[in-house]
A and B are shown apart, each in its own frame.
Chain A
Amino acid sequence: MTPLITVDAVSVAYPAPGGGRVQALKDITMDVRRGEWLAIIGHNGSGKSTLAKCFNALLVPGRGAVAVDGISTRDPANARRIRQIVGMVFQHPDNQLVATVVEEDVAFGPENLGLDHEEIKRRVEESIAAVDVAELRLRPPHQLSGGQKQRVAIAGVLAMRPQCLVLDEATAMLDPEGRREVLDTVGRLHDGGTTVVSITHFMSEVPLADRVIVLNEGQIALEGTPREIFAHGDALRQLELDVPQVTQVAEALAARGRRLEPLPITVHDLVEALA
């Protein structure tokens, strides 16, 4: 199966505030496979958000090529189609909701596509149910919690019926409850076949993914499954990241001679390994 998104030798540079240019991405080549959950991690400034914005043509790279379902992002005429295939949810819960009540905001995307009213209503219903915000449908955004706002944002994206959902640090500003809500929702969508790309710096979210790419200074530093990545504890710490607590415990035990296989990356793993 061809990948859903292909990134080929992509470089992106920004003008720096003090003059000169800052290289946000340097010659990156990677892909997003259909149906997978890909996590992209890295410290702030590593280029992860920049890469995410290339996936739905919000950013067109200075060099290299990005294609979504075979469609090139370089041609502005393709943007509309691409953004229906790849939907994106952003970090700031408030700064994505434009309408005055929840169900109006969910309808925003389909309205922009010029769909007729019956179709819009249908999609709004489906999306609201998919993220479980039915009892909030008439509430104004400022009365919602962070987690609820992000779920509404996801509904707004789902209403466009995308194949892929990109979460650009979508849990960074949430409390643990909100984060749980959002990740549970995304998990369900992933189980239903949606491709997920999550950009995050929370190590505890990484085990949810099928595959992980670690960015540093605009380049790919590590790639593999969560377990493979977390086996490189020292390398990750060099990159200003870390491994989950349970993995740190496994590292400490390994240092004393007790190796746990397979490497624990969740609470469940460690309990099973020791019980």
Chain B
Amino acid sequence: MDEFDFARSVTVGQYIPGTSIVHRIDARAKLIAFIGLLVATITQPSYIANVIAIIAVVVIVRASRIPIGYVLSGVRPVIPLLILYLIFNFLFLGNYDPTGSAVLWRQPIDIGPYHIAFTVTDNSLRQTVQGVARVIDLILLASVLTLTTTITATAKAVEWLLQPFRRIRVPGHEIAMVLAIAYRFMPTVAEELERLMKAQASRGADFGSPGAFRFVQRARQLIPVTVPLFVSAFRRAEDLIIAMEARCYVGGAGRAPVRLGPLNGLDWSAMAVAWAFALALSATRFPI
């Protein structure tokens, strides 16, 4: 893979048009269902429940008819972090287990003057594995959501869902606007980032890793990219404000409230199934 193409492989956020059942569900229903499924993946401490949750997520990905490899590639950027999380928690979390669950493995070791122990308890193992599983679930769900829903539909859905809260001054329109504009510029900024890295590399800038923990050095190395990005972001914001004002934008006031069609059978079923699944899963006691 070419050195600089990475910015384009951000799958969270890309919309891929399609006619699958997931595509056809209304954005509002998808959001509500999404929250339900999130609940399902988070609440249960049982391994079996976790496996069931993962299977459910995979089923949804398949239902969206988007190649699973592509959806999984959204997880790729997070893998280093996950591995770190996995290793550290696996080795050390057991030392801080207040529930006193069974110790599965213990290995005291001396590093110089320090005595520490690698401890894995029943609970710590559970938390470690489930932590990773939940992150993956979350990314997959978020990817499927954004891959099958246009941001316009999502922003409108958010605005519509927040409308009842207008009375308590929740700026539903502004929130939806922020979402929409941020999303709209993601590919533009990604392309800009790619171009900047190429331009600076052409001048001899090196973006290779200086080592896992040399954060300051890494930050310094990225200055030729981060500063221009910031400058351009501010310039963009200034230009946008002027352009929006020229088209009479004054915020949510004066705009007609967003009007969306009624939800149909498919939408209600999707929400019902997602929440039924979530509640059933939470309520069931599994052996392990």
**Which residues on A are within 8 Å of B, measured CB to CB?**
53, 56, 58, 79-80, 83-84, 87-88, 90, 92, 94-101, 104, 108-109, 111-117, 140-142, 153, 156-157, 160
The verdict on B174 contacting chain A, using a C-beta distance below 8 Å, is: no
The verdict on B150 contacting chain A, using a C-beta distance below 8 Å, is: yes
The verdict on B226 contacting chain A, using a C-beta distance below 8 Å, is: no
B18 → A minimal CB distance (Å): 14
B245 → A minimal CB distance (Å): 7
26 residue pairs of the A-B complex, CB under 8 angstroms, read: A56-B246, A83-B245, A84-B248, A87-B247, A88-B246, A95-B236, A95-B243, A96-B239, A96-B240, A96-B243, A98-B177, A98-B244, A100-B180, A100-B184, A101-B150, A104-B152, A109-B247, A109-B248, A112-B248, A112-B249, A117-B256, A140-B184, A153-B243, A156-B247, A157-B247, A160-B247
User: Which of B188, B242, B245, B254 is within 8 Å of A141, CB to CB?
Assistant: B188
Knowing A100-B151, A114-B255, the reply to whether A83 touches B248 (Cβ < 8 A) is: yes
Whether B259 pairs with A90 at a CB distance below 8 angstroms is no
Knowing A109-B247, A112-B249, A156-B247, the reply to whether A98 touches B256 (Cβ < 8 A) is: no
Number of A-B contacts (CB under 8 A): 88
Whether B256 pairs with A95 at a CB distance below 8 angstroms is no
CA distance A96 to B152 in the complex (A): 17
Q: For B184, give the chain A residue with the smallest CB separation.
A: A100
B248: A residues at CB distance < 8 A: 79-80, 83-84, 109, 112-113, 160
B246 → A minimal CB distance (Å): 5
Whether A58 pairs with B150 at a CB distance below 8 angstroms is no
Whether A141 pairs with B246 at a CB distance below 8 angstroms is no
Interface of chain B residues 256 through 281 with chain A (CB within 8 A)? 256, 259
User: Which of A58, A84, A95, A108 is within 8 Å of B249, CB to CB?
Assistant: A108
Give the one of B151, B247, B256 with max A CB within 10 A. Answer: B247
Knowing A80-B248, A100-B184, A160-B247, the reply to whether A112 touches B255 (Cβ < 8 A) is: yes
6 residue pairs, one from A and one from B, having the closest CB atoms: A95-B239, A96-B243, A109-B247, A142-B187, A112-B248, A100-B151
A58: B residues at CB distance < 8 A: 242, 245-246
Knowing A95-B239, A101-B150, the reply to whether A114 touches B256 (Cβ < 8 A) is: yes
User: Which of A88, A92, A115 is within 8 Å of B256, CB to CB?
Assistant: A115
Q: For A97, give the chain B residue with the smallest CB separation.
A: B184
CA distance A87 to B247 in the complex (A): 7
CA distance A100 to B177 in the complex (A): 10
CA distance A92 to B250 in the complex (A): 22
Name the prevailing secondary structure of the B interface residues. Answer: helix
B247: A residues at CB distance < 8 A: 83, 87, 108-109, 112, 156-157, 160
Q: For A80, give the chain B residue with the smallest CB separation.
A: B248
Q: For A95, give the chain B residue with the smallest CB separation.
A: B239
Whether A100 pairs with B256 at a CB distance below 8 angstroms is no
The verdict on B206 contacting chain A, using a C-beta distance below 8 Å, is: no
B183: A residues at CB distance < 8 A: 100
A94: B residues at CB distance < 8 A: 188, 236
CA distance A153 to B243 in the complex (A): 10
Q: For B247, give the chain A residue with the smallest CB separation.
A: A109
The verdict on B181 contacting chain A, using a C-beta distance below 8 Å, is: yes
A153 → B minimal CB distance (Å): 8
A99: B residues at CB distance < 8 A: 152, 180, 184
Knowing A90-B239, A95-B239, A141-B184, the reply to whether A114 touches B246 (Cβ < 8 A) is: no
Binary per-residue interface labels of chain B (89-106) against chain A in the complex, 1 for a CB within 8 Å, 0 otherwise: 000000000000000000
Knowing A95-B236, A104-B152, A156-B247, the reply to whether A112 touches B254 (Cβ < 8 A) is: yes
User: Which of A56, A100, A116 is within 8 Å of B152, CB to CB?
Assistant: A100
Knowing A100-B150, A101-B152, the reply to whether A90 touches B256 (Cβ < 8 A) is: no
B177: A residues at CB distance < 8 A: 98
A155 → B minimal CB distance (Å): 11
Q: For B190, give the chain A residue with the smallest CB separation.
A: A142
CA distance A108 to B155 in the complex (A): 14
CA distance A253 to B139 in the complex (A): 71
Whether B180 pairs with A98 at a CB distance below 8 angstroms is yes
CA distance A237 to B164 in the complex (A): 63
A115: B residues at CB distance < 8 A: 256
Binary per-residue interface labels of chain B (157-182) against chain A in the complex, 1 for a CB within 8 Å, 0 otherwise: 00000000000000000000100110
Binary per-residue interface labels of chain B (172-206) against chain A in the complex, 1 for a CB within 8 Å, 0 otherwise: 00000100110110011001000000000000000
Instruction: Give 12 new A-B contacts, CB below 8 A, not counting A90-B243, A95-B240, A111-B256.
Output: A58-B242, A80-B248, A83-B245, A90-B242, A92-B239, A95-B236, A100-B152, A101-B150, A108-B249, A114-B256, A117-B256, A157-B246
